Amino acid sequence: MSAQTLTEIPPSAPPDPAAVPRVVPRRRAGQWAAATVVLALLALALTSVVRNDAFQWGVVGEYFTTAAVLRGLGLTLWLTALVMALGFAFGTLLAVLRLSANPVLRAVSWGYVWLFRSMPVLVQLLFWFNIGALYPKILGVRTVDLFGPVTVALIGLTLHEAAYAAEVVRGGILSVERGQIEAAQALGLGRWRRWRRIVLPQAMRSIVPPAGNMLIGTLKGTSIVSVIAVQDLLYSVQLVYHRTYQVIPLLLVATLWYIVVTSLLGAGQYAIERHYARGTVR
């Protein structure tokens, strides 16, 4: 075909917008009706809670920021932070042992995880609280003097947390593709640099979500230490309502504080997840 023939072909006219069929989204009347019913039920429940004088919201506001409650909250936060730090440090060591080529180390790590995941945390706390029945003295000091309620809570919760943290860390490490490590080896990177620059940044994408859930679970789980007279948030409000007999409003005080703290932790978890998810398809 000659160039003259090509120039004689008229360009195609743009399509007429009026002639193009318009895509109309499908109407979902059932979903909107269900949403309306759910919102109506939530509004009724909220109205019932707010207007019910039995909740004694004035008492809730009176005790929400009292010194005793804030001291209990401080101990709860301190215990949660320390248990998570120690639990993940010990759990990381257990995860490394589980991934070791040494069968003895793998067996020891597996046995620890199996044992402490099989025991309820309350049983562990009661066991450590009564450890003096097995060992009345340790290094010449009475066991009851060494293992106070707070120490018992710290030991019991940390050992329990380490078993779950080990599996979280191990799962995160195994989520990294083997080819990434082999490529780092081919580039001549040392073992520590491979772990710091290649393995851990990728493993954190799998570690952070369950670790965040564990942190929130540990915060709420610390309330169980009230059974061994540790003056955490729950035990502090219990001391008050045993004196005033205002059980419901004091339990609401503890509940609201747990909601506030877990909401803040959830927001922090979301920010950390976004940080480690950069460059990935979400």
201, two tokens: 């940044």
DSSP conformational letter for 195: I
| 197 three-state secondary structure | helix
Task: Please give the mean pLDDT across all residues of the chain.
Answer: 84
In degrees to the nearest 10, what's the CA dihedral of 108, 109, 115, 119? 150
Q: What pLDDT band is residue 115 in, cutting at 50, 70 and 90?
A: very high
Q: Give the model's pLDDT for residue 18.
A: 58
Q: What pLDDT band is residue 263 in, cutting at 50, 70 and 90?
A: very high
| 28 three-state secondary structure | coil
Q: Give the model's pLDDT for residue 156.
A: 92
Backbone angles phi, psi at 187, to 5 degrees: -80, -5
Inter-axis angle of helices 149-174 and 67-98, nearest 10: 40
Higher-pLDDT residue of 129, 15: 129
| Environment class of 280 (CB within 10 Å of its CB; exposed 0-12, middle 13-18, buried 19+) | exposed
Q: What pLDDT band is residue 79 in, cutting at 50, 70 and 90?
A: very high
| pLDDT, mean of residues 229-244 | 91
Residue linked to tokens 């493993």: 203
Q: Give the model's pLDDT for residue 218.
A: 92
pLDDT digits (tens, 9 = 90+) for 2-55: 445 545 555 565 665 555 566 666 667 778 888 888 999 998 888 888 888 888
Q: Does domain 57-217+225-276 have CATH number 3.90.1150.10?
A: no
pLDDT digits (tens, 9 = 90+) for 161-210: 999 999 999 988 888 777 777 777 777 777 777 777 777 777 888 888 89
pLDDT digits (tens, 9 = 90+) for 132-153: 888 888 877 888 878 888 999 9
Residue 90 has pLDDT above 80, yes or no: yes
| pLDDT, mean of residues 235-250 | 91
Domain ranges of the chain: 57-217+225-276
Q: For the whole model, what pTM was predicted?
A: 0.79
Half-sphere exposure of 64 (CA within 13 A, CB side): 14
Neighbours of 143 (CB within 10 A): 16
Residue linked to tokens 């109506």: 40
End-to-end CA distance of the chain: 50
